[in-house]
Amino acid sequence: MEVEQAEPAQVSEGEAGTEAILLREVTRRYGEREALHAVSTSLEAGRTLAVFGPNGAGKTTLLRMLATLLVPHAGTLRVLGSDLPRESHRVRPLVGFLSHDPLLYRDLSGRENLAFYAQLYEVADAAARIAHLLEATGMTRRADEPIRNLSRGMAQRLAVCRAVLHRPRLLLLDEPRAHLDPEAASAVDGLIGPGSDATRVLVTHDVEHGLAEADRVLALRAGHVAADAPAAHVSAADIRGVYGGAVA
Amino acid sequence: MRPVGAILRKDLLVELRTKESVPSMAIFAVTTFVIFHFGLDRDRLEGELAAGVLWVTILFAAILGINRIFVAEREQGGFDGILMAPIERTSLLIAKAGALFTYLLALELVALPVFALFFLSDGFWEALPRLLVVAVLADLGLATVGALLASIAVHTRARDLLLPLLLLPLTLPVMIGAAAATKPLLSIPLETSGVGKWLAVLALYDLIFGLLAYAVFDFLMED
């Protein structure tokens, strides 16, 4: 395997405040099993971290910790200048999470779902913001249908709307283009793509696409860091080596 | 209070669309009254037997709604969406308890007249205002404890088994208080002595378990 040697983030205390994301020796367990073991990395504000790894490598666990849904069992986790989990309340308004599940209620329409989340996030001028996002994702015409009547791709477009509704500074994206056709993928790109201005953590198995968008790459295998380096120093072949047929 | 209103409105809207909980609770209660009617082979009940039949039926019907109160969050991913939102997590508890309270009131809107039809000869309308006060206080306790326990049970695979096992012992004081307060109201002739004392017991239960639920809910929602 020709992956660049893992280089745990060496960030001094003084620099730590300028990092959008800082993980230092972060460990997370589920019972006896370690999902993440001493993971360290960092990411500057406005940059994109692409996270690769085979199934069970700990990618989703990492995203859920950054989203304040899981707490680390050891190590330091700092997001947008706040320590997690102690200052989760400061981070939550600033994070948008696009997960495997669209986090939308099937019996409500897309517009009702977005209005619900807009109330939770106290989004100013919510109706106009929702209308803008529906238009941007091409969902205006189907916005008043219950989610259960929509295809998975349409639900994914609405999930993108939900994730960016409150204009988050940090986007956590778990296979954001899953279920999207090329046209839809292009439509959501302006909201969650490199031009979105947000700091992004992108979990994907699409190696070429992920590398093209990334400023930094973190590769995980069985919860351990297999590679942590600037994207320019990592090739697609390196990343494929991380997959290597071994599933944790 | 804004998040409480948003979650409560969402829950009531989903229930209005799906009709998953309240109709099931109402049908269960009516069916149980029919079974009691024929099982006891009595056209008329009064006093403690009437109160017991009424409140046991309402408690068991309530379990159906309590079991499902967090299901939409669990099955449709709403838990993550709400837990990530910048709101007090107790907003979720208050909203869920509010939704359950509404379900219970809707249940009683059906169950009380049917109960009167099956088991009471007269005096129902005279007893109704005080009966409603008992119902509101009992519903508050059931809704609060129900929402708290449902939030625990929903994370387990044996949700349907675990919830009644936790709920029944903890709501025993509600049942004792509600039945004792209802007994004189369903006696012939109607009595009112002793009702106040049991209403106070119910109110105290609501207060204690309301504060307890408020205190521990944040901890229960932690990873």
The full DSSP string for chain A is --PPPP------HHHHTTEEEEEEEEEEEETTEEEEEEEEEEEETT-EEEEE--TTSSHHHHHHHHTTSS--SEEEEEETTEEETTTHHHHGGGEEEE-SS----TTSBHHHHHHHHHHHTT-TTHHHHHHHHHHHTT-TTTTTSBGGGS-HHHHHHHHHHHHHTT--SEEEEESTTTT--HHHHHHHHHHHSGGG-SEEEEE-S-HHHHHHH-SEEEEEETTEEEEEEEGGG--HHHHHHHHTT---
Pairing of strands A170-174, A199-203: parallel
The verdict on A87 touching B (C-beta cutoff 8 Å) is: no
CB spacing of B85 vs A101 below 8 angstroms: no
pLDDT, one tens digit per residue, over A199-234 is 999 999 889 989 999 999 999 999 999 999 998 898
Residue B77 is predicted with a pLDDT of 67
* B77–A104 CB contact, under 8 Å: yes
A79/A93 Cα distance (integer angstroms): 12
For position B220, what pLDDT does the model report? Answer: 86
Q: Kindly report the number of other CB atoms within 10 A of residue B158's CB atom.
A: 9
Cβ pair B77:A102 closer than 8 A: yes
Across the interface, which of A92, A103, A121 has its CB nearest the CB of B78?
A103
* B38 to chain A, closest Cα gap in Å: 39
Q: How far is B73 from chain A (nearest CA, A)?
A: 8
pLDDT at A248 over 80: no
Are A107 and B84 in contact (CB < 8 Å)?
Answer: no
Burial group, residue A28, by CB count within 10 angstroms (0-12, 13-18, 19+): buried
Chain B interface disruption, residue of A36, A70, A116, A149, most B CBs within 10 A: A116
Mean pLDDT in residue range A82-111: 93
A122 touches chain B (CB under 8 A): yes
HSE-CB at A99 with a 13 A cutoff on CA atoms is: 23
Q: In this structure, what token pair is assigned to residue B174? A: 């509600």
Lowest mean pLDDT among A49-58, A187-196, B166-175: A187-196
- Report the alpha-carbon distance of residue A193 to residue B188 in Å, rounded: 74
Chain A CA closest to residue B77: A103
Burial level of B166, CB count in 10 A (0-12/13-18/19+)?
middle
Contact criterion met (CB < 8 Å) for A120 and B82: yes
- Residues of A within 8 A of B20 (CB-CB) are none
Half-sphere exposure of A148 (CA within 13 A, CB side): 10
User: Do B85 and A89 lie within an 8 Å CB cutoff?
Assistant: no
- Residues in chain A with CB shorter than 8 Å from the CB of B83 are 68-69
* Number of CB atoms found within 10 A of residue A83's CB: 15
Inspect the interface and report whether the beta carbons of A105 and B87 lie closer than 8 Å: no
pLDDT digits (tens, 9 = 90+) for B49-88: 999 999 999 999 999 999 989 887 887 767 889 999 999 9
Mutate to test the interface with A, among B8, B84, B91 (most CBs of A within 10 A): B84
Element (H, E) at B78: helix B78-84
Closest Cα to residue A152, out of A175, A129, A172? Answer: A175
Q: Which comes out higher in pLDDT, residue A197 or A77?
A: A77
The CA distance from B220 to the nearest CA of chain A, in Å, is: 13
Residue B76 DSSP code: T
- Domains of chain A (ranges plus CATH)? 13-243 (3.40.50.300)
Q: Shortest CA distance to B171 belongs to which of B147, B196, B187, B153?
A: B147
Residue among A237, A203, A215 nearest A48 (CA) = A215
How far apart CA B67 and CA B103 sit, in angstroms, is 12
Residues of B in contact with A106 (CB under 8 A): 76
A132-158 tens-digit pLDDT: 999 999 999 999 999 999 999 999 999
In contact, A49 and A59? CB cutoff 8 Å: no
- ipTM entry: 0.88
Average pLDDT over residues A33-52: 94
Q: What is the pLDDT of residue A4?
A: 46
Q: Residue A246 class from Cβ within 10 Å (0-12 exposed, 13-18 middle, 19+ buried)?
A: exposed
Q: What CA–CA distance (Å, rounded) separates B106 from B68?
A: 16
CB pair distance less than 8 Å for B84 and A69: yes
Closest CA to A89 of B222, B133, B111: B222
Q: What is the DSSP letter of B86?
A: S
A69: which chain B residues are within 8 Å (Cβ-Cβ)?
A: 80, 83-84, 223
Nearest by CB to residue A108, choosing from B5, B14, B222, is: B14
Higher model confidence: residue A236 or residue B171?
B171
| Residues on chain A touching B84 (C-beta within 8 angstroms) | 67-69, 92, 95, 97
Given this model, what pLDDT does residue B1 score? 78
Cβ contacts (< 8 Å) between B76 and chain A: which residues?
A: 101, 103-106
Under-70 pLDDT residues of chain B: 77
Q: Would you call the peptide bond into A85 cis, given omega within 30 degrees of 0 as the criterion?
A: yes
Asked if A125 and A158 touch (Cβ cutoff 8 Å), the reply is no
Q: Does A95 touch chain B (CB under 8 A)?
A: yes
Sheet holding A199-203, edge to edge: A95-98, A170-174, A199-203, A48-52, A216-221, A224-230
Is 60 exceeded by the pLDDT of residue A13?
no
A108 and B10 in contact by Cβ < 8 A?
yes
Each domain of chain B, given as residue ranges in start order, spans 2-221
* Total-model pTM: 0.88
| pLDDT value at A10 more than 70 | no
Asked if A108 lies within 8 A of B78 by C-beta distance, the reply is: no
User: What pLDDT does residue B173 have?
Assistant: 95
Q: What is the pLDDT of residue B11?
A: 94
Q: Kindly identify which residue of chain A lies nearest to residue B10, measuring between CA atoms.
A: A116
CB contact under 8 Å between B80 and A69, yes or no, is: yes
